Structure 1
Amino acid sequence: MRVLITGCFDIIHPGHIFLLKEGAKLGEVYVIVARDSTIKKYKKKNPTIPEEQRLAVIQAIKYVTFAQLGNENNNFIRKALDLEPNIILLGPNQRIHIDSLEQMLQKNNASHIQVRRLEQFYTDYPLTSSSAIKKKIIDYN
């Protein structure tokens, strides 16, 4: 079973590890790391960590079977289908809606791929988002 997870993974934190670990419970975890250009387009800001470094960190995490950068042209579906996942697992705060993703999959003759969202946020530690970590650093100085 292949589980596809996508994201920015700008500053790796316990929430990311929790998502990858939960994905690994379902099968082999394949990750698409968003390109710098994609982050800039959708979040209207540059990532803190360059894409190659973010990819290297994700590849080193024991729950990840395979990881690669996304497409420059922001064609997530094409890249996703090339990896032949059985499940696409979304994080609890990822902006994409399940219905929208299922429609994209259906248009690409891939409605057999299950789309799930991890509903549970990781709450064991206070800094479980890149934004919270950045804010903490700014407030510290």
Structure 2
Amino acid sequence: MHIDNHAQKIVDCETCIALLRPRRERETIVFTNGCFDLLHPGHVDLLERARAFGHILVLGLNTDSSVQRLKGPSRPVTPLADRALVLSGLSSVDYIVAFDEDTPFELISKIAPDVLIKGGDYTLDQIVGRDVVEQRGGTVYSLPLLPGYSTTATIARILQRIADKDSATES
């Protein structure tokens, strides 16, 4: 599959809704979301397990300004277009929809998934959109995270290695 084919997975909300409409009756729509700043095995694992809950996985992806508000001024490391393109290369992801809000509540309300998935760092009570999905008869899951993977920890490890190298060359 070429980059152009992967990029077809990156759509706006209205296009996603239109693409889902004819499939909604016969296929289960799963939704998850996140920043996915530096893609790591924990992300890939979560997305594969999320996809296993249905036929179509829609990924809500925080925009750069949304990530910055949530994670701080030094984030994201990877711009939205690059994050979306990398994620579009995963076979588990069918559609990627960027959202600029701090939470995906509006996007979840519009997409109306049958299943809502978040990583285990969220309890069911903390999952934004849970009420909307459950009111429609859908289900919500908090899946355990793959231990040892975190974007924040990866960034800290990179910065520490740079600091260690800089201090070694100064000695």
Q: TM-score, normalised by structure 1?
A: 0.81
Secondary structure, aligned partner of 2:39: coil
> Offset of 1:44 from its aligned partner?
2.5
Deviations 1:90-111 (A, max 9, x none): 01224xx522547x554x5862
One of 63, 67, 73 as aligned partner of 1:35: 63
Identity of aligned residues (%): 21
Change over 3 Å in CA distance of 1:101–1:135 after alignment to 2:
closer
One of 131, 136, 140 as aligned partner of 2:157: 136
Structure number with the higher helix fraction is 2
Residue 77 of structure 1 contacts residue 105 of structure 1 at CA under 8 Å; is this kept in 2?
Answer: no
Residue 116 of structure 2 contacts residue 133 of structure 2 at CA under 8 Å; is this kept in 1?
Answer: no
> Offset of 1:84 from its aligned partner?
2.3
**2:118 pairs with 1:93:** no
Alignment of 1:52-67 (within 5 A): 52-67=81-96
Deviations 1:63-105 (A, max 9, x none): 10111111x34462221122221111001224xx522547x55
One of 32, 37, 40 as aligned partner of 1:5: 32
**2:45 pairs with 1:21:** no
**2:146 pairs with 1:122:** yes
Change over 3 Å in CA distance of 1:67–1:14 after alignment to 2:
same
Task: Kindly name which structure, 1 or 2, has the bigger radius of gyration based on alpha carbons.
Answer: 2
Secondary structure, aligned partner of 1:139: helix
Change over 3 Å in CA distance of 1:26–1:76 after alignment to 2:
same
Aligned to 1:83: 111
Change over 3 Å in CA distance of 1:19–1:69 after alignment to 2:
same
Residue 89 of structure 1 contacts residue 115 of structure 1 at CA under 8 Å; is this kept in 2?
Answer: yes
Q: TM-score, normalised by structure 2?
A: 0.68
